[in-house]
Amino acid sequence: MSVSALSLFRFPGSVSGLLQVASLLGLFLLLFKAAQFYLHRQWLFKVLQQFPCPPPHWFFGHKQQFPRDQELQQTLKWAQEFPSAFPRWLSGSNAHLVIYDPDYMKVILGRSDPKSHGTYRMLSPWIGYGLLLLNGPKWFQHRRMLTPAFHYDILKPYVAVMANSVQVMLDKWEQLSTEDSPLEIFQYVSLMTLDTIMKCAFSHQGSVQLDRNSQSYIQAVDDLTKLMSSRMKNVFHQNDTIYRLTPEGRRAKRNCQIAHEHTDRVIKQRKAQLQEEGELEKVRRKRHLDFLDILLFAKNEDRSRLSDEDLRAEVDTFMFEGHDTTANGISWILYALAAHPKHQQKCREEVQSLLGDGSSITWDHLDQMPYTTMCIKEAMRIYPPVFNVGRELSKPVTFPDGRSLPKGVIITISIYALHHNPKVWPNPEVFDPSRFAPDSAQHSARHSHSYLPFSGGSRNCIGKQFAMNEMKVAVALTLLRFELLPDPTRIPLPVPQALLKSKNGIHLQLRKLS
């Protein structure tokens, strides 16, 4: 009885003691984090002091100077003010060095630094660790394994597949468009590029453009690009646990599930097809395998198959990169041609003289449309779909002007600022395809790293030839069917999301040609 009474008497004191200990531990942790914050901030200030920029806020960094939807304009403003590079503070202890000088680009892209983990890891719940996010020996192994999927013998027959998908899209436009009603084209271009990648890389049967499940995938990808962009700019959403508890985090999780269900279905269908004896024999006779077949038949150095996780990561990565990036490129190119009718007409005449009615575009035609190619390249200079890439220095670096940085600094390679840098491109906002004329003085004198729509170095886009072919096919066949005009009431507003998107869509008037 007395023991019980004593226990009850001491219990409140024990709770009080525990609370005191917890409070002290919490205070210690807070002080530790504050010291860590301060020391890292001071280290960054010291290593970046060679690169001038406006003073950042102690906690929010340069957030106030980069208002939402004005980031690109502010980047270009600072790029003109500060030669070669400037530090951008994302928060009080998080800064990236933004570079936009060709010599700086050449140094960084010529190295083997890993992708910046802090930024790219936010994409991992969606696309996993495939070629885009992998680093080191595993990246090299996967890159070497997948390179044969882009051999020209594989790409040649894809041209007919691309043309078929484009014609389905154009048939839709013909039914939907009227002269008084502009069309938002990106959603249709996105379905078309998904249709193409599904048929070319994943041996899909049927038309994705008529499948409602595919439309939900497109919507999920569009939503994820916005959510990832928003998360990267929110200092409170950097922590994975906190982000998962937010409404945005829950929305991202739902959209990831939709995307994964789509890719899982693709893998399952192809595996089922390969169970058929005739299909398996047909694959064995191929000199070069398609993208998904390479993954399914691939073996690691220890002769084991790729894990389900690795397989899905590569499929998720290429599904996203292969359709959304290309769809953005095509949509911006069509807008640029709509906004510059003289160049549009010159491209149309070139295509008409080469293809007639366009019913039989082939691989050989793609190298016989030089002016159209020049216009495509100029549109991708002004509107690069991948507007920047990130690296984390794995060892110190010294740039050609003598400024240097230690290991651990994050570099943002601003392809958008490079392409709009007046020291590299005179009158950069002017649409001038002659910049890419093979015999022009500007072309011959151009720096090797002044134009990077597909990045550069060993980690350049593995599918760049596939993407360029698809862009040429889409532009050529569209110009044979329609005259393109911009919607003066809805001029596209470029905004940086996971890719360079238009905040208000890309609306065009489409006039059917007789």
Q: Hey, what's the torsion of the CAs at 268, 272, 275, 277, to 10 degrees?
A: -140
Any binding-site annotation on 200?
A: no
Q: Nearest 5 degrees, angle CA 434-CA 467-CA 160?
A: 105
**Concatenated DSSP letters of 35-46:** HHHHHHHHHHHH
Dihedrals phi, psi of 449, to nearest 5 degrees: -120, 35
- Tokens read off for 283: 């694959």
Instruction: Tell me how far apart the alpha carbons of residues 209 and 165 are, in angstroms, rounded to a whole number.
Output: 8
Each residue's pLDDT, cut to its tens digit, for the chain (514 residues) gives: 444 544 544 555 677 888 888 888 888 888 888 888 888 899 999 999 999 999 998 888 998 899 888 899 999 999 999 999 999 998 888 899 999 999 999 999 999 999 988 788 889 999 999 999 999 999 999 999 999 999 888 999 999 999 999 999 999 999 987 767 899 999 999 999 999 999 999 888 878 887 777 888 999 999 999 998 888 888 788 888 899 999 999 999 999 999 999 999 999 999 888 888 777 777 777 777 889 999 988 876 666 788 889 999 999 999 999 999 999 999 999 999 999 999 999 999 999 999 987 678 999 999 999 999 999 999 999 999 999 999 999 999 999 999 999 999 999 999 999 999 999 999 999 999 999 998 877 776 789 999 999 999 999 999 999 999 999 999 999 999 999 999 999 999 999 988 999 999 999 999 999 7
For residue 94, with 0-12 CB atoms within 10 Å meaning exposed, 13-18 middle and 19 or more buried, which class applies?
middle
Instruction: Tell me how far apart the alpha carbons of residues 433 and 301 are, in angstroms, rounded to a whole number.
Output: 47
At residue 6, the pLDDT reads 47
Contact 216, 258 (CB under 8 A): yes
At residue 419, the pLDDT reads 98
At residue 8, the pLDDT reads 47
Q: Which of 97, 87, 89 is nearest to 61 (CA)?
A: 89
Contact 358, 505 (CB under 8 A): no
Q: Nearest 5 degrees, angle CA 401-CA 402-CA 405?
A: 115
Q: Which residues of 468-497 are buried (b: 16+ CB within 10 A; e: fewer)?
A: bbbbbbbbbbbbbbbbbbbbeeeebebbbb
Instruction: Tell me how far apart the alpha carbons of residues 447 and 428 are, in angstroms, rounded to a whole number.
Output: 15
Residue 32 amino acid letter:
F
Instruction: Tell me how far apart the alpha carbons of residues 87 and 353 are, in angstroms, rounded to a whole number.
Output: 50
Instruction: Tell me how far apart the alpha carbons of residues 249 and 227 are, in angstroms, rounded to a whole number.
Output: 8
Q: Rounded to whole angstroms, what are the CA distances from 214 to 125, 311, 488? A: 20, 20, 31
The pTM assigned to this predicted structure is 0.91
At residue 211, the pLDDT reads 75
